[in-house]
Amino acid sequence: MTLNPHLEFGPEVHAALIKKKPIIALETSIISQGLPYPHNHETALLVEETIRQQDCTPATIGIVKGKIKVGLTPEELNFFATERDVKKINNRDIPVALTRGWNGATTVSGTLACAKLASLQVLATGGIGGIHREFSETHDISADLHQIRNTKVITVCSGAKAILDIPKTLEMIETLGIITGTYQNEEFPAFWSRNSGCQSPLRLNTVEEISAIFKTSRQLFNKQGFLVANPIPEEFEIPRNIIEPLIKDSLAKAQVQNIKGKELTPYLLNSLNELSSGQSLLSNIELIKNNANLAAQIAKKLSII
Ligand code: PSU
Ligand code: MN
């Protein structure tokens, strides 16, 4: 199926490639670093099932003993959910992880790089990384943004995580030339909340429109990402005025404890889960499922145009 010696397809993905069934790429960092056990395992299974119900095939991507696995077996998925010290792998880490034979959970940037190798066209996640709020001191910008810019894949997410500086993240997305729009809404979403206070660059009305824009981009450019921001369903959102003070408290705690780099995003997500008594986790799970569902609808459209 593939000439790339570093890629291995799981049986379900292999069969889908032969049948030319639409495939959705999913990341593993959200499982290993983004959500606590057992919710991470349950969510990973639910998201895969959501995609199957749309007659598409899920391809959860991770690095297993130095191979890029596109489509995990139930045992491998369980490994990523239960093993506590799986490394968080972004795009730059992949060659090192493969050469050293590591296991690694891929972030959006790592997963996109792998999805491109496997010729997949759509990825679903919760929220992408972006520019952190303390940017002027730390210069912390997620590798997700540059990889999205470089990869001809549609990334379906609920915006950038609200722990970030959303206005600055939107500026950077524009600078990088990433097509960006909100599905059926005017504002850019803020992960747990439907609104961020920032106007979205574009309102995207239908999956037909999303597929058609992606197709046009592919005909024009070798590299151009497409970010589809899908607001969390209203019944599961946490309004901004409720989540924002908790974000501020979590950021202050992270600063006191000197948490930086790759540890920062998982630390903040975990702290918010505690401070919101599990509410942020419930919302996080619902928005991921919702994104998987939209990603599958887009992938089906893409397969017929
Ligand atoms: N979406 C979630 N939870 C997560 C992530 C996304 O709902 O934990 C992960 C993704 O893997 C994303 C990463 O790429 O967080 C961003 O981390 P950083 O800010 O360190 O680049
Ligand atoms: Mn970072």
Whether the CB of 276 sits within 6 Å of ligand 1: no
List the structure tokens of 297.
Answer: 């609808």
Instruction: Please name the amino acid found at residue 88.
Output: K
Q: Say yes or no to pLDDT of 2 above 60.
A: no
Predicted local confidence at residue 1, as pLDDT: 56
The answer to whether 79 touches 127, Cβ cutoff 8 Å, is no
Q: Look up the pTM and report it.
A: 0.97
Tell me which residue of 35, 51, 18 sits closest to 282, measured CA to CA.
35
pLDDT digits (tens, 9 = 90+) for 30-84: 999 999 999 999 999 999 999 999 999 999 999 999 999 999 999 999 999 999 8
Model confidence at 135, pLDDT cuts 50, 70, 90, reads very high
For ligand 1, atom 11: residue with the closest CA? 107
Give me the helix-helix angle, 143-150 and 166-176, nearest 10°: 30
For ligand 1, atom 16: residue with the closest CA? 129
CA of 139 relative to ligand 2 center, distance in Å: 9
Whether the CB of 29 sits within 6 Å of ligand 1: yes
Task: Report, as an integer, the average pLDDT of 14-24.
Answer: 97
Task: Report, as an integer, the average pLDDT of 7-31.
Answer: 97
Task: Report, as an integer, the average pLDDT of 10-36.
Answer: 97
Whether the CB of 262 sits within 6 Å of ligand 1: yes
Predicted local confidence at residue 3, as pLDDT: 76
Task: Report, as an integer, the average pLDDT of 139-151.
Answer: 97
Whole-angstrom distance, CA of residue 184 vs CA of residue 283: 19
Whole-angstrom distance, CA of residue 221 vs CA of residue 289: 31
Q: Say yes or no to pLDDT of 239 above 60.
A: yes
pLDDT digits (tens, 9 = 90+) for 264-284: 999 999 999 999 999 999 999
The answer to whether 166 touches 130, Cβ cutoff 8 Å, is yes
Whether the CB of 159 sits within 6 Å of ligand 1: no
Whether the CB of 129 sits within 6 Å of ligand 1: yes
List the structure tokens of 107.
Answer: 């972030």
Angle, CA of 215, 18 and 297, to the nearest 5°: 40
Show contacts of 139-144: CB within 8 Å, 24+ apart. 140/260, 140/261, 140/264, 141/172, 142/107, 142/108, 142/109, 142/265, 143/90, 143/91, 143/92, 143/107, 143/109, 144/90, 144/107, 144/108, 144/109, 144/112
- Distance of alpha carbon 75 from its chain centroid, rounded? 22
Residues above pLDDT 90, as percent of the chain: 98
Task: Report, as an integer, the average pLDDT of 73-98.
Answer: 97
- Nearest ligand 1 atom, CA 106: 11
Q: Say yes or no to pLDDT of 235 above 70.
A: yes
Task: Report, as an integer, the average pLDDT of 137-151.
Answer: 96
Model confidence at 195, pLDDT cuts 50, 70, 90, reads very high
The answer to whether 269 touches 288, Cβ cutoff 8 Å, is no
| Contacts (Cβ under 8 Å, ≥6 apart) of 95 | none
Q: Say yes or no to pLDDT of 176 above 70.
A: yes
Predicted local confidence at residue 304, as pLDDT: 83
Task: Please list the active-site residues.
Answer: 27, 161
Task: Report, as an integer, the average pLDDT of 234-257.
Answer: 97
Map tokens 């946490």 to a residue: 238
Task: Report, as an integer, the average pLDDT of 232-249.
Answer: 97
Residues above pLDDT 70, as percent of the chain: 99
First-to-last C-alpha distance (Å) of the chain: 24
Model confidence at 85, pLDDT cuts 50, 70, 90, reads confident
pLDDT digits (tens, 9 = 90+) for 209-230: 999 999 999 999 999 999 999 9
CA of 125 relative to ligand 1 center, distance in Å: 8
The answer to whether 103 touches 83, Cβ cutoff 8 Å, is yes
Predicted local confidence at residue 26, as pLDDT: 98
For ligand 1, atom 5: residue with the closest CA? 30
Predicted local confidence at residue 220, as pLDDT: 96
